[in-house]
């Protein structure tokens, strides 16, 4: 009889333990919401992206097996519980546009390449550097944003807001 009465307690213990391990669903970033003190520290997304340096470029890639530029952004923000659009052109529609001089760690930086507006995106790291998945055959890397190539192709920067 003692075993039967202990079973419901054991089941409840397992259920509560599993609930404690569950993470909340990702929050959707908004183009119009306001930043508040309870929002996620966006710089943590930059840390996740930086941890992926050396991962291979893969068109359409969204995980450490391979990333394209927007896939790296998508993955990094998802790791901090924020669901961002998957495509670069959609990423340009969220958050607020900021000046290059106002960049902060975790901001998105967009570049024009091959005549396509904002065809490349990275995450600003601070100290004049950003992390991105550059191109086929390449690897995720950090570059200086003020290098001639990147400064010439810089299009805009956006700060993600919740």
To the query of whether residue 120 is one of the catalytic residues in this protein, the response is: yes
User: And the tokens for 128?
Assistant: 């004049």
Q: Which of 3, 74, 132, 153 is catalytic?
A: 132
Distance CA(52)–CA(29), nearest Å, equals: 22
Q: Which of 3, 21, 69, 89 is catalytic?
A: 69
Distance CA(74)–CA(88), nearest Å, equals: 10
SS3 track for the chain: CHHHHHHHHHHHHHHHHHHHHCCCCCEECECCCCCCCCCCCCHHHHHHHHCCCCCEECCCCEECCEECHHHHHHHHHHCCCEECCCCHHHHCCCCEEECHHHCCCCCEEEEEECCEEEEEEEEEEECCEEEECCCCCCECEEEECCCHHHHHHEEEEEECEC
Q: Which of 3, 48, 120, 153 is catalytic?
A: 120
To the query of whether residue 74 is one of the catalytic residues in this protein, the response is: no
Q: Which residues are catalytic?
A: 69, 120, 132
């Amino acid at each position: 009889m003692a075993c039967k009465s202990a079973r419901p307690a054991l089941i409840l213990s397992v259920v509560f333990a599993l609930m404690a391990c569950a993470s909340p669903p990702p929050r959707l970033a908004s183009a119009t919401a306001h930043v508040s003190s309870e929002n996620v520290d966006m710089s943590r997304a930059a840390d996740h992206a930086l941890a992926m340096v050396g991962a291979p470029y893969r068109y359409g890639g969204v995980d450490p097996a391979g990333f394209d530029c927007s896939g790296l952004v998508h993955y990094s923000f998802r790791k901090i519980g924020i669901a961002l659009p998957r495509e670069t052109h959609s990423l340009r529609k969220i958050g607020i546009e900021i000046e290059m001089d106002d960049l902060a760690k975790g901001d998105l930086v967009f570049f024009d390449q091959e005549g396509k507006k904002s065809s490349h995106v990275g995450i600003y790291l601070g100290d004049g550097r950003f992390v991105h998945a550059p191109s086929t055959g390449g690897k995720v890397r950090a570059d200086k944003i003020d290098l001639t190539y990147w400064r010439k192709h810089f299009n805009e920067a956006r700060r993600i807001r919740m």
